[in-house]
Amino acid sequence: MNQTALQLAYLAAAGAFILALKWLSAVATARRGVVVGAVGMALAIGGTLLSPEIVSYRWIAAAFVLGTVIGVPMAMMPMTAVPQRTALSHAFGALAAALVGTAEYYLRTVSLSRFTMGALAIEVLLGFLTFTASLMAFGKLQELVPTRPMTYPFQNVVNLAILAAAVILAVYLVLHPGQTELFPVIALLALVFGVLLILPIGGADMPTVISLLNSYAGLAAAAMGFVLDNKLLIIAGSLDGSSGLILSIIMCRAMNRSFTNVLFGAFGQVHAQATAVQQSTVRSATPEEAAAILDAATSVMVVPGYGMAVAQAQHKVRELTDLLGKRGVNVRFAIHPVAGRMPGHMNVLLAEADVPYDKLLEMDDANSELPQTDVALVIGANDVTNPAARHDKSSPIYGMPILDVDRARTVMVIKRSMNPGFAGIDNELYSMDKTLMLFGDAKAFVTSLVKELSSPA
């Protein structure tokens, strides 16, 4: 294939990628979007394979087979494992960029222009640090590494010092590309920094972190485009980079926190002392009572949180909503943007459980519906329902946008115990007069609700 044809294939691929993302904006066109993206990818790969630069296919073929053998099972994971899987794929993407950067550096050390060397340094720094950071995020999500924030004295100082050292050495290398012995040191510092960056981050901050890593992996690919003078790579990398950035901004806003606070704040630790000893009386209800209340309602808003996914209760919840739907109850779901472990995670979990997507309401829509709702049924969500976020200036979560569950006529909360949530704060929702606590495992409790409602009364 000659150069012009190859460049045209790349151009078509770039168009396909933009179209893919555009079509992904709505469910109706989303499938088409994925297909056109895959076609673009096939064109670009096919064109590259036919380019005259390739002298041997042996290693490429081996890598294709190996990549497919690993990639297919990774696509078949259950939806609960999608955050882990995504973290792992960020790691692979970043690793590819870092390895190509390393290979280019050693191949072309003498001929690299200062600018190319700069792009290469960015590619390698971002690539290696995103690689280990994503592996750490994977470890935390998979619970191979403790999910609680791990902190030690002067953590931020140490981390920033390592990053600064890596950047300073990289700048020096850009000015003196011949200093090849510096390259492994920079790579090592970036790898170490990636690990340290994720240590202090807790499970509930994962949606932001995973988006940020998405962005870094994209930027590393864009930097690779500069090094290889490949415009398609620049385009695909910047699409990925801006997507990750937008998602992390949305996640930060949904938690009313800043990037610096997420990355250096070690949430959970700071607020540990905020748990006040508050002896309040709560009312609880049995499955029979709860089922009767649900049955009598005209509208029910289910508020699912990560706890629902942990208990694997989503299929039972769907059964419950089916039963209520048959009895003429209007059931919908209120989805907080940070529900789950990555952006949009809860929607995918419910879609997998066959909940129709027009029943899933975004936070703002849900909040305008909640005051007219008979029953809000909270399953495995905590901090995102705490009214203290609206009015208690001393609360650590003050200012965080929440689902106004307390404005529904009756609130029912399925919860294992009265233990506080992730932020370690009491939820005043639980002691409100209109609130009924349904104590038990989410799946077991919903199962007994289903039983109550399906037995003819």
Partner 1 sequence: MSADLMTQLYILLLATFIGFEVIRRVSPLLHTPLMSLTNAISAIAVVGSIVIAGRQETGLSTLLGTAAVTASMINVVGGFLITYRMVKMFKRRRSDKP
Which parts of 30-49 interact with partner 1 (CB under 8 A)? 30-31, 33-35, 37-38, 40-41, 44-45, 48-49
State which residue, 321 or 382, has the beta carbon closest to partner 1.
321
Cα 418 off chain centre by: 28
State which residue, 58 or 391, has the beta carbon closest to partner 1.
58
Q: How far is the CB of 173 from partner 1 (least distance, A)?
A: 18
Which of 3, 57, 151, 260 binds partner 1 (CB under 8 A)? It is 57
State which residue, 136 or 411, has the beta carbon closest to partner 1.
136
* Binding status of residue 235 toward partner 1 by CB under 8 A: yes
- Which residues inside 323-352 make contact with partner 1, applying CB under 8 A? 335, 337, 342-345, 347-348, 351-352
Provide the residue count of the chain: 457
DSSP assignment, residue 380?
A: S
# residues contacting partner 1 (CB under 8 A): 112
* CA separation for the pair 413, 370 (Å, rounded): 15
* CA separation for the pair 106, 345 (Å, rounded): 41
Q: How far is the CB of 62 from partner 1 (least distance, A)?
A: 7
Considering only the stretches 15-23, 146-154, 374-382, 443-451, report the one whose residues sit in contact with partner 1 under the rule CB under 8 A: 15-23
Annotated catalytic residues are 383
> Encoding tokens for residue 224?
């690779």
* Binding status of residue 218 toward partner 1 by CB under 8 A: yes
- Which residues inside 368-407 make contact with partner 1, applying CB under 8 A? none
User: Cα Rg for the chain, rounded, in angstroms?
Assistant: 25
State which residue, 178 or 356, has the beta carbon closest to partner 1.
356
Reduce the DSSP state of residue 331 to 3 states and report it. Answer: strand
* Binding status of residue 7 toward partner 1 by CB under 8 A: no
* Binding status of residue 208 toward partner 1 by CB under 8 A: no
* Binding status of residue 199 toward partner 1 by CB under 8 A: no
Alpha-carbon dihedral angle through residues 442, 76, 36, 59, given to the nearest 10 degrees: 150
* Binding status of residue 12 toward partner 1 by CB under 8 A: no
Handedness of CA 134, 137, 143, 146 (dihedral sign): positive
Give the contacts of 9 (CB within 8 A, at least 6 positions apart).
Answer: 1, 43, 44, 46, 47
* CA separation for the pair 448, 207 (Å, rounded): 32
Q: Helix 58-75 to helix 82-108 angle, to the nearest 10 degrees?
A: 160
Which of 124, 136, 236, 300 binds partner 1 (CB under 8 A)? It is 236
Handedness of CA 405, 411, 414, 417 (dihedral sign): positive
Burial profile 185-200: b = 16 or more Cβ within 10 angstroms, e = fewer: ebbebbbbbbbbbbbb
One character per residue 238-277, x = contact with partner 1 (rule: CB under 8 A): xxxxxxx-xx--x---------------------------
Considering only the stretches 29-37, 141-149, 190-198, 308-316, report the one whose residues sit in contact with partner 1 under the rule CB under 8 A: 29-37
Strands 330-335 and 360-362: parallel
State which residue, 49 or 276, has the beta carbon closest to partner 1.
49
Which of 5, 63, 171, 175 binds partner 1 (CB under 8 A)? It is 63
Q: How far is the CB of 410 from partner 1 (least distance, A)?
A: 26
* Binding status of residue 189 toward partner 1 by CB under 8 A: no
* CA separation for the pair 362, 29 (Å, rounded): 20
Are the C-beta atoms of residues 373 and 325 closer than 8 Å to each other?
Answer: no
State which residue, 103 or 158, has the beta carbon closest to partner 1.
103
State which residue, 335 or 412, has the beta carbon closest to partner 1.
335
Considering only the stretches 21-29, 268-276, 386-394, 434-442, report the one whose residues sit in contact with partner 1 under the rule CB under 8 A: 21-29
* Binding status of residue 181 toward partner 1 by CB under 8 A: no
- Convert 382-417 into a string of H (helix), E (strand) and C (coil): CHHHCCHHHHCCCCCCCCCCCCCHHHCCEEEEEECC
Structural element, H or E, at residue 99? helix 82-108
One character per residue 105-134, x = contact with partner 1 (rule: CB under 8 A): -xx-----x-x-------------------
- Which residues inside 88-107 make contact with partner 1, applying CB under 8 A? 89-90, 92-93, 95-97, 99-100, 102-104, 106-107
